[in-house]
Structure 1
Amino acid sequence: MDSCHHGFVIEDANMAANVVCPAGDGGDTLHVHVSLPSGHSTSISTDSSTRVLDLKTAAQEAFGVQFLQLTFNGRLLEVSQHLSELGLSSGDTLMATIVTPQIVASAGAVALCCAGQVVTWGEPQCGADSRMVRDELKDVRQIVASLSSFAAILADGSVVSWGDPRSGDSSMVKDQLKNVRQICASCSAFAALLADGSVVTWGAPECGADSSKVQDQLQHVQQLHASSSAFAALLEDKSVVTWGYGECGGDSRSVQDQLRQTKQICSHYGQDSFAAILSDGSVATWGYPPGGGDSRRVQHQLKNVQHLQASWCAFAAILENGSVVTWGGKDYGGDSSAVQHQLKSGVVEISAASAAFAALRADGSVVTWGSPQQGGDSSSVQDQLQNVQAIQASFGAFAALLSDGSVVTWGDPQDGGDSSAVKHQLKKVRWIQGIYKAFVAGLNDGSLVTWGDPKCDASALAGHFRLL
């Protein structure tokens, strides 16, 4: 059957019959094909003045999905372009891929970035109100959240930030924010890594926004990492430079001699310490001692370390043989002695909530420890935790994606540990994402399901997602 809606004619026998897209302003008629990697394709007739955004929206509705990315002759198309700019001829084929959106959250707001576009929701004071920068948020490549602000890297390497002015106002350094490769956030500050290996910071000075004392050392930087109030930069020569609040990891002088052959740094903006895997497989730690900054109790076990994960006051290390070593706050997962017999081998991945850990084993089973209220006790769902493919964490809960596309949750109900209200929707799930105190699941048809903190509920924005 043929459907004609606002200037588009779409021909696809398996297509949904209700496609809504605006027409262009007039131009040469084009008949193009849009094809998925699976071979499923649809033919669309429109005019050359149509925007890529509108063509993409038509294709999304034709395929019954919500997030597509279009390429032509191997080149990614920007949604702001018009078809007349692409050199298209009738009969040409555009390739479409279904993309997974990037979703990040501050303490009270959520930002979804997909195919260059951004949608925000939640509490305005925490960054949900992005209207002031709406015209600038185009062709977004990466988005990062602090506790109350967001920062986005655009395709041209510039940065747009918004939210709480104390951390989200980058106007003072805007001229320096060019060719940005990475952005990292502490609780109230941001650090941007530029293509030349230098670093630009902004936000609350006490949380790492003031890098003036180490600015001459911040050259040839490869990666940036953040704790709650400090930053750590891994340099090209494998050394480390730190700044910010000293007790939260801004002062690494006690381990500086060890940080000469660093492979990986671990922390996040809820943590007050850092841990680093060194080239010989050992670990160096610094920052708040009770929160994981002091690993002397288990230092003799920290050999052949492959991966590190952090809760808010503890660390967990996966060793080469698949065993796990933990340290830090006992009530935050630093003590795994109760389940150590299950952590002697076979662990392939660890996820962390604020005060608990969940380890995914090679056989698809799950082991949890830490605060029982925040996900450390999974006994109520243990019989369901089989054939687990992936685990995600919110502030106080976990969600496991099973091989059959269903989801199992546990932990604090208010943080997404109780998904019973949306259980009937959680089928054919393709991916899950923890977002502060809630979860988002992406289904095979491209739709989204959210549960947990009501501030993170995306259902009211369902009509906007088709525009991404």
Structure 2
Amino acid sequence: MLADGSVVTWGDPHWGGDSSQVKNQLARVQQIQATEEAFAAILEDGSVVTWGDSDWGADSSQVEAQLARVKCIQATHFAFAAIRLDGSVVTWGIPDYGGDSSQVQEQLVGVQKIQATRAGAFAAILADGSVVTWGNAEGGGDSSQVRAQLVGVQQIQATRAGAFAAILADGSVVTWGHPYFGGDSSQVREQLVRVRQIQAADRALAAILEDGSVVTWGDPSWGGDSSQVREQLARVQQIQATAQAFAAIMDNGSVVTWGESSGGGYSRQVQEQLVRVQQIQASAYAFAAILDTGSVVTWGNPEYGGDSSQVRAQLVGVQQIQATDRAFAALLEDGSVVTWGHPYYGGDSSQIQTQLDRV
């Protein structure tokens, strides 16, 4: 999104990189959301414009009349769910993976927030703190076994592989979905008290407690086991995740990582540079940290954004970083953009660089 509310796209043309057919409609854009192969943009008037692969959510023609007064959109890999100003929900995309909410439509009243697994399930928090789920049952769409526990829900987080974790008003946590990928938290249930925030990788979850300590569960190899760094995880302020690893920012600006080493869990080579870290962003396989100086430190899979050496000199005065699965884009203080990572996934913006000078 540019400053004037117009949109510039690049990358695989079939998966949303080519927005030429809807370019004239993309004015005064407020928010953009994405499935695996399509985009949905909310305009200033609350209408929605979609583009990309028609089967994966780019074709919203069947619900076009309902897409009015939309305030927020969430997405699985396969489908979109839009919350309207009146708290109702409109869904489209692949039906079995979240695009069809007809079986729970009457329950979707007063919806406050929606969270999604990439595996094809949605979870909506209603105004009374209860939860409604739909989509792929194995990916978190079936919450019947824990429905009675889902009372006073404050926040929901989701793993991409198919599990949800809900923080209740008393700081306890309820999980459901694929048991190995975070849906089963029974081994750490007694530790999950006074939880203030949860972050998710593809197959694991990490909860920050009120005292700044961290509890993890899910696939051990992909961040579910943090035992080797447990003593270092004190006074944690924020956690970010790739598909396979976690990175925690401490209150002194240092960083602790764990999980699959090739996916960002190993940061020893840049550890001395990770001081006074303000913010961390993640692609699926690499991390990028913004320091208080406005410079950037990256690590993880080199091909997918972990190596920013070719653009290091340009990464000055960085204000914000965003990521695709395998590439990064940094917004500088002068409004220009610097990209790196896999060129096919957005790491090469050379063809539209002149348009990225007024973002």
What TM bracket, shorter-length normalisation? over 0.9
How big is each residue's C-alpha offset from its partner over 1:13-38, in whole Å with a ceiling of 9 and x where there is no partner? xxxxxxxxxxxxxxxxxxxxxxxxxx
Secondary structure of the structure 1 residue equivalent to 2:225: coil
Other-structure match for 2:165:
275
1:235 paired with 2:126, answer yes
| Structure 2 gap ranges (5+) | none
Secondary structure of the structure 1 residue equivalent to 2:189: helix
Paired amino acid for 1:378 = S
Q: Give distance in 1, aligned partners of 2:2 and 2:80.
A: 19
How many pairs align?
A: 355
Q: Is the 8 A contact 1:146 1:186 kept in 2?
A: yes
How does 1:337-348 map onto structure 2 within 5 Å?
A: 337-343=227-233, 345-348=234-237
- Name which of 247, 272, 283 aligns with 1:358: 247
Identity %: 54
Other-structure match for 2:278:
389
1:266 paired with 2:266, answer no
How big is each residue's C-alpha offset from its partner over 1:385-424, in whole Å with a ceiling of 9 and x where there is no partner? 1111111110100011111121111000111000111111
Paired amino acid for 1:249 = G
How does 1:55-454 map onto structure 2 within 5 Å?
A: 112-167=1-56, 168-228=58-118, 229-267=120-158, 270-343=160-233, 345-454=234-343
Secondary structure of the structure 1 residue equivalent to 2:149: coil
Q: Give distance in 1, aligned partners of 2:250 and 2:323.
A: 20
Q: Is the 8 A contact 2:42 2:70 kept in 1?
A: yes
1:467, distance to aligned residue in structure 2 (A): 6.5
Secondary structure of the structure 2 residue equivalent to 1:214: helix
Paired amino acid for 1:299 = R
How big is each residue's C-alpha offset from its partner over 1:234-266, in whole Å with a ceiling of 9 and x where there is no partner? 000000000001110000011101101100011
Q: How does the TM-score come out when normalised to structure 2?
A: 0.97
| Runs of 4 or more consecutive aligned structure 1 residues displaced over 6 Å after TM superposition | none
Paired amino acid for 1:451 = W
| Structure 1 gap ranges (5+) | 1-111
Please say which structure displays the higher CA radius of gyration.
1
How big is each residue's C-alpha offset from its partner over 1:336-388, in whole Å with a ceiling of 9 and x where there is no partner? 00100101x21000000000000000100000000000000001111111111
1:271, distance to aligned residue in structure 2 (A): 3.2
Q: Is the 8 A contact 1:449 1:459 kept in 2?
A: no
Q: Is the 8 A contact 2:337 2:357 kept in 1?
A: no
Q: How does the TM-score come out when normalised to structure 1?
A: 0.75
1:453, distance to aligned residue in structure 2 (A): 1.0
Q: Give distance in 2, aligned partners of 1:291 and 1:447.
A: 39
Secondary structure of the structure 1 residue equivalent to 2:314: coil
Q: Give distance in 1, aligned partners of 2:335 and 2:357.
A: 10
Q: Is the 8 A contact 1:359 1:367 kept in 2?
A: yes
More helix by percentage? 2
How big is each residue's C-alpha offset from its partner over 1:143-190, in whole Å with a ceiling of 9 and x where there is no partner? 001100000000000000111100211000000000001100000100
Which has the higher mean CA deviation after the structures are superposed, 225-234 or 442-451? 442-451
The alignment yields a C-alpha RMSD, in angstroms, of 1.1
